[in-house]
Amino acid sequence: MKAADYVDVQFGAIDRRIFWDPAIYERELEQIFARSWLFVAHESQVAEPGAFVTTYMGQDSVIVARGDSGAINVFLNSCPHRGNRVCFADSGQSRAFTCNYHGWAFGLDGGLKKMPKMGLYKSTPGFRMEDWGLKAARVAEYKGLVFATFDPDAPSLDDYLGDFRWYLDAVLDAEEGGTEFLPGGATRSVMNCNWKFPADNFVGDIYHALWTHLGGAEPTLGRHGGVIVDNEGSYQVSVNGHGWEFNDSFLGNAATMGDRELLRYMKSRQDKIAARLGDFRMKMWGSVASATVFPNFSFLPGYFTFRTFQPKGPTKTEIHAWTLVPKTMPDDIKDRFRRGSMRTFSPSGMLEMDDGENWEHSTSANAGFVTRNQKLCYAMAPVAEQVEEGLPGHVTRGQLSDANQRYFYKRWAEFMDAKSWSDIPLAPRTRVPEAAE
């Protein structure tokens, strides 16, 4: 059965088995996570030579390290001698990585440098040191975000992101000087859910906020605050399966953090951001919005929480989350963002706990045979491609829509069924008209 048979994009019906079946999950690791450009770090996390973080690409543990030359390298965190994990720290500073088992040592580029009794290996016919380093991935950056892929045939990162970069700049290029992740590392939590449910939620599901987050929004926005979505001033955009839903509220998401000083600061930046990016993208900076870069890298403008949904099996996901801010932002405002994002979207946050409970039950409900054979409904506002002057990608007017989610699952099926990258379509990179700059 082809993956496309599980996804009825035209009407909007998804087969539940893609959230439960172990065979489908194993296929995802090969077809999606071993092929895609995956977010692995922000350059601020590995700012100096020797700085490193460990993370995952699918279920493959990897080390992200800044080399002596200044280049960022990504390689498997598994010794090719007996397979032991090489680095057990989440982050740090090092001149080399040495396996605990037999003492094989690897450089910041992942290359094998030495091992005990090295002469015994060098005397073995056909043995070459350069053949036994830690397997390296391709690495590319986009405005501070570091991505990697193990597929030598994958397109460039610029082609993979395509015109979605124009939207990303609303957060990554709003201020001069670039961005950084706030120091202190990631918050990590484990949820008993399929990785696609949170990615699906962030790619375009504002619909849930009108109900799920009502109790969490009232303490900060007032009893009748809630989340208001005006479809006339709202959009869903999708490029190569990457999706962003947003409205023109400017401070919609940020308002729910309940910090007036933070909001005053953001309003003070409004004119400068508009001069840099235009009025349209200025309003995206802190609006009621969410986004996913296919397959599992998501963020919330306004809260500026960035996260990866790391797959740990068909019914288990590990969430790594950080707070991204402009480098030039005053320290006291950075701290307010830290506290605001922790209050809302962290393992103990008043909004993330609501989401996590829903994702877990949406997954566990599929244990029943009869339940798994009832499809899920993604039929809100069927996809009708619209032309909005100056907006690249597939554009659907109105946030209350399943459009981006259908494009996400369409992309999922394309990856799952493709024999090679030549079978995976890429939207052409286009020049954004001057009117939208």
pLDDT digits (tens, 9 = 90+) for 1-42: 899 999 999 889 999 999 999 999 999 999 999 999 999 999
Residues 219 and 303 in one domain: yes
Residues 85 and 177 in one domain: no
In a domain, residue 174? The reply is yes
206: left (phi over 0), alpha (psi -120 to 50) or beta: alpha
Q: How many domains does the chain have?
A: 2
Q: How far is CA 326 from the centre of its chain?
A: 19
In a domain, residue 17? The reply is no
Amino acid at 76: L
In a domain, residue 7? The reply is no
Q: Which of 51-60, 313-322, 424-433 has the lowest mean pLDDT?
A: 424-433
Distance (Å, whole) CA 53 – CA 39: 13
**Average predicted confidence (pLDDT) for the chain:** 90
**Structural domain boundaries enclosing 52:** 38-141
Sign of CA dihedral 266, 271, 272, 277: positive
* Boundary (domain end) residue, out of 81, 106, 141: 141
In a domain, residue 26? The reply is no
Residues 233 and 269 in one domain: yes
Is residue 433 scored above 80 in pLDDT?
no
The CATH code of the domain that includes 89 is 2.102.10.10
Residues 262 and 407 in one domain: yes
* Boundary (domain end) residue, out of 75, 107, 141: 141
Residues 168 and 296 in one domain: yes
In a domain, residue 317? The reply is yes
Q: What is the pLDDT of residue 387?
A: 62
Contact between residue 380 and residue 204 where contact means Cβ atoms under 8 Å apart = no
Residues 60 and 197 in one domain: no
In a domain, residue 24? The reply is no
The CATH code of the domain that includes 314 is 3.90.380.10
Residues 226 and 367 in one domain: yes
Distance (Å, whole) CA 61 – CA 55: 6
Residues 125 and 206 in one domain: no
Instruction: Kindly report each contact of residues 220-224 with a partner whose C-beta sits within 8 Å and lies 24 or more positions away, as own/partner.
Output: 220/255, 220/256, 220/257, 220/258, 221/255, 221/256
pLDDT grade, residue 434 (50/70/90)?
very low
Distance (Å, whole) CA 204 – CA 209: 11
Does residue 155 or residue 352 have the better pLDDT?
155
* Boundary (domain end) residue, out of 109, 141, 173: 141
Is residue 218 scored above 70 in pLDDT?
no
Q: Taking the model in full, what pTM does it have? A: 0.93
CB environment 37-54: b (16+ within 10 A), e (fewer): bbbbbbbbbbeeeebbbb
SS3 217: helix
Residues 127 and 181 in one domain: no
Residues 332 and 249 in one domain: yes
Residues 193 and 251 in one domain: yes
In a domain, residue 2? The reply is no
In a domain, residue 123? The reply is yes
Residues 338 and 206 in one domain: yes
Q: What is the pLDDT of residues 135-190, one digit of tens each?
A: 999 999 999 999 999 999 999 999 999 999 999 999 999 999 999 999 887 889 99
pLDDT grade, residue 220 (50/70/90)?
low
**% pLDDT > 70, the chain:** 92
Does residue 172 or residue 436 have the better pLDDT?
172
